[in-house]
Amino acid sequence: MVFVHLYLGNVLALLLFVHYSNGDESTDPGSQRRTQSPRPVSTLGPLTRLEGIKVGYERKVQLVTDRDHFIRTLSLKPLLFEIPGFLSDEECRLIIHLAQMKGLQRSQILPTEEYEEAMSTMQVSQLDLFRLLDQNHDGRLQLREVLAQTRLGNGRWMTPENIQEMYSAIKADPDGDGVLSLQEFSNMDLRDFHKYMRSHKAESSELVRNSHHTWLYQGEGAHHVMRAIRQRVLRLTRLSPEIVELSEPLQVVRYGEGGHYHAHVDSGPVYPETICSHTKLVANESVPFETSCRQVPPTPVPLTPGNLGSFCPQVNLWECLQLGTRSEAPLPYSYMTVLFYLNNVTGGGETVFPVADNRTYDEMSLIQDDVDLRDTRRHCDKGNLRVKPRQGTAVFWYNYLPDGQGWVGDVDDYSLHGGCLVTRGTKWIANNWINVDPSRARQALFQQEMARLAREGGADSQPEWALDRAYSDARVEL
Amino acid sequence: MVFVHLYLGNVLALLLFVHYSNGDESTDPGSQRRTQSPRPVSTLGPLTRLEGIKVGYERKVQLVTDRDHFIRTLSLKPLLFEIPGFLSDEECRLIIHLAQMKGLQRSQILPTEEYEEAMSTMQVSQLDLFRLLDQNHDGRLQLREVLAQTRLGNGRWMTPENIQEMYSAIKADPDGDGVLSLQEFSNMDLRDFHKYMRSHKAESSELVRNSHHTWLYQGEGAHHVMRAIRQRVLRLTRLSPEIVELSEPLQVVRYGEGGHYHAHVDSGPVYPETICSHTKLVANESVPFETSCRQVPPTPVPLTPGNLGSFCPQVNLWECLQLGTRSEAPLPYSYMTVLFYLNNVTGGGETVFPVADNRTYDEMSLIQDDVDLRDTRRHCDKGNLRVKPRQGTAVFWYNYLPDGQGWVGDVDDYSLHGGCLVTRGTKWIANNWINVDPSRARQALFQQEMARLAREGGADSQPEWALDRAYSDARVEL
């Protein structure tokens, strides 16, 4: 039986909670802060970026002392590379072992009641909502226009069938053509919709992300293999040690049989501490640095269709809104993703880049009424590029374009990627996200503050890594 | 009436004349010379390459003192940019005026008798030739496999209709399906083919390139506008002054109504003096530098299907062979092309990049039995990218990829471009080709030798620019 997972409701709910710190910050990063900063800020050198040359180009690199590695260009859009044998089989097994000792948690939980609660106090009219959703301005809501709103959603993944079932259940589409006219949309009673949503529980296969994961510490005092991998990534990326060391810890992910991760872009950091380190510095630079800021809630600001337009000009309402709720201050960017395959997968589990090296990028052309290329359970075979998991192989890519001044610029839409359905066996991977602040000056300030903290012994006192420290001498027993 | 222009004959003829200096030289440039060189060779810095960022990206640059210019990214494959107002209208008019005073010549003359003469002494059997032409190894010659051999040909441009007419005239394809089986090909009497070829004269519209051109000197003592443009190009490209100054003079081209240039890649230099400057240095470094080497003919070496395969592995037999005849030594590369539009064209005359930003490049997929995307008289509308001529606008692109070590690497197949049919009025353009030697060490040596020559006053004595010097104070009377 198919459950229905329409996320319109969640989108609406978020409208109430979103706070916009500064809509233009990302296009002109740091200009404000730079002048306000009371402390001298050192300037950072240009962000390194490997040359792609062309698809299939191979270069030899020395990442470890005892062997050479070859970096192969897989695509230019996104700038994507593959390095076979980046990790040894022993290292792969050790990472899995450490993750298992630490324990993995579900990567995504189902939407909570707070969303539904918020729905009842909406400030956006049904007409305004229709206009926001009607991307092609033809006065009708195509299935794909509704599908477009699930991307990166925290909740359930929508398929065209889900939407049509819901329409049918709440009688939203009397003529059954899958398209809602403004009249049909206006006639829809959102309470029916909420009721329908509550009555259908999603299974894990119906989520955006169906996996378990944990985080492994890679900082000072970590397991020597974790340190060695961080150093290897440093040599691979040719970035400064500060940037790599201050990025997120290693995320280890297990996809069971039936696991998947629908296509998304790694635009922001996923580990809250990393966000908050940056955020704190920006929000109030005189406040002493704190490693965690989960306790600081975002300030709710009413959102109107008027200010929404300027903040969320793109089709991706959901992603934009979700980003808005994360923090009051601009987030650091996931400049690069380094993904490690920790085992050979018996069936499926490829990493797909649906639009890699496409001539043009058009978000809406990804999503057709029948085929949604972001759907990694159904349509991986139609994506432009698939990487097959092979134990020890690493792939890495740049989620952001350069800004032309040696720093990070706009997100690279072509970096859209996902984890295909694991049809047989288990898939283990790990991710290193290299975070960079969109403001060069703020990144410099962040590094400066973190260095000060380290000198003052603050780094050692981080309580969340106690478990990792206990395992720092762990070995794999085979 | 359509004339038939089959170039199989020319290809065959060339088989006799081709000399291969060193098939591997281009993949491992300069390694030999570097060790043999008796003189100390300075190392050159990395070749600058503008970042494309993404299609539509604009950057402001200061190329002249009195205004800003904007460089807009048109494509990433090839790396292609546009700069509106790069030349003033007065500069455009002056260039046209200088070119007219100097006089323009036909850009392409019809194939001479030497080709036909050579046909009779072929050393490649008809069976071997069939195998060379049969790209997809299906034992049959499709129209497109024959069409593929005209690219960059010095002679007539082939269309599918031309070939079918020829087949019909010499009864080569009895079943009239446009495909030659090995049997049909073997039955063909090449003498009939030659006879047919001689009986059909090509019109200028049936050539690869239908235009007139001349060269304008830009070196020391040239017209101040010509000097200013060279300096502006230097600032635009951010290359070293030596590289830009030692590149080819400005080519000014006039396309009359009906003019065109079928799609090609600017792989090598087109001005003989530039080739020979490099060649001389390489062929015998102890010989004093000479500015012209037209008198040195290529040494004819018999070509067999065996050595052909290793030298010409790609479909483009013609281009490869033609390159082979040019010189005994490796040629400098046309690293960049800077193209200036000198007037507004009433109808047509766009610059087309048929495969710009294609996901993949496949030469044979360009050429279908019915549609040949390289044909700029018929199929410009099907190309990926077209630039409309606008007086004063410059476009520039890189014909070569980087090699990953800061120097020039492989040719960029995506740089394929042509001049669309001028349907109304006249089109005036100018080209600056920036030449770079594939060997970094040889480029250094070349620059060193040219500097020495300049110190010894040799540069001033070049006789071929006497006319340009006479016009160095020319003005346009309006």
Chain B residues near residue A402 by CB distance under 8 angstroms: 51, 53
The per-residue pLDDT for B346 is 98
Core vs surface per residue B313-340: b (16+ CB within 10 A) or e? eebbbbbbbbbbebbbbbbbbbbbbbbb
For residue B50, give the chain A residue with the closest CA: A404
Nearest-CA distance A411 → chain B (Å): 11
What's the rounded Cα separation, in Å, for the pair B354 and B376? 9
pLDDT digits (tens, 9 = 90+) for B25-78: 333 333 333 344 445 456 798 999 999 999 999 999 999 999 999 999 999 999
Q: What are the distances in angstroms from CA B326 to CA A304, B49, B446?
A: 69, 28, 19
Kindly report which listed range (A57-61, A369-373, A462-466, B387-391) carries the lowest average pLDDT score.
A462-466
User: pLDDT tens across A169-183, in order?
Assistant: 999 999 888 999 999
- Measured in angstroms, the CA of B136 and the nearest CA of chain A are apart by 22
The pLDDT of residue B333 is 86
Please judge whether B404 and A57 are an interchain contact, meaning their C-beta atoms are less than 8 angstroms apart: yes
pLDDT in tens, A388-436: 999 999 999 999 999 999 999 999 999 999 999 999 999 999 999 999 9
Q: Is B168 helix (H, G, I), strand (E, B) or coil?
A: helix
Phi first, then psi: give them for residue A227, nearest 5 degrees.
-65, -45
Where does the pLDDT of residue B203 fall: very low under 50, low under 70, confident under 90, or very high at 90 and above? confident
Q: What percent of chain A has pLDDT over 90?
A: 46
Q: How many CB pairs under 8 A join A and B?
A: 38
Is A105 a residue whose pLDDT tops 80? yes
The verdict on a CB contact (< 8 Å) between A409 and B359 is: no
The predicted pLDDT at position A116 comes to: 54
| pLDDT of amino acid A308 | 43
Please, what is the average pLDDT of chain B?
78
Set of chain B residues whose Cβ sits within 8 Å of the Cβ of A354: none
Which residues, 6 or more positions from B113, have their beta carbon under 8 angstroms from its beta carbon?
none
| Residue A80: predicted pLDDT | 98
For B317-357, the pLDDT digits (tens) are 444 444 434 334 567 889 999 999 999 999 999 999 999 99
Contact between chains at A401 and B53 (C-beta distance less than 8 A): yes
Closest CA in chain B for residue A75: B359
More confident residue, A331 or B38: A331
> Inter-chain contact A59–B404, Cβ cutoff 8 Å?
yes
> What CA–CA distance (Å, rounded) separates A417 from A420?
9
- Which 3 state secondary structure label does DSSP give A464? helix
Structure letter (DSSP) for residue B109: P
For the cut 90, the answer to whether the pLDDT of residue A259 exceeds it is yes
Please give the Cα distance from A106 to A210 (Å, whole number). 8
Rounded to an integer, the average pLDDT of A56-66 is 96
Residues 6+ apart with CB under 8 A from A126: A185, A186, A188, A190
Whether the predicted pLDDT of A345 surpasses 90: yes
CB A419 within 8 A of CB A235: no
Contact (Cβ atoms closer than 8 angstroms) between residue B419 and residue B376: yes
Alpha-carbon span A451 to A45, nearest angstrom = 17
| Chain A residues whose beta carbon lies within 8 Å of the beta carbon of residue B401 | 53-54
Of the residues B51, B71, B355, B399, the best mutation for testing chain A's interface (the one with the most A CB atoms within 10 Å of its CB) is: B51
Candidates B51, B54, B402; nearest CB to A53: B402
Q: What is the mean pLDDT of residues A367-393?
A: 95
CB A123 within 8 A of CB A16: yes
On chain B, the residues whose CB falls within 8 A of the CB of A76 are 76-77
What pLDDT is recorded for position A53? 97
The per-residue pLDDT for B117 is 53
d(CA B464, CA B471) in angstroms, rounded, equals: 13
Judge residue A362's burial from the number of C-beta atoms within 10 Å of its C-beta, 0-12 exposed, 13-18 middle, 19 or more buried.
Answer: exposed
What are the tens digits of pLDDT across the range B253-274?
999 999 999 999 987 666 655 6
Is the pLDDT at A95 greater than 90, yes or no?
Answer: yes
Number of other CB atoms surrounding residue A22 within 10 Å: 12
The radius of gyration of chain A's CA atoms, rounded to the nearest angstrom, is 23
| Among A40, A95, A113, A102, residue whose Cα is nearest residue A391 | A95
Is the pLDDT score of A74 beyond 50?
Answer: yes
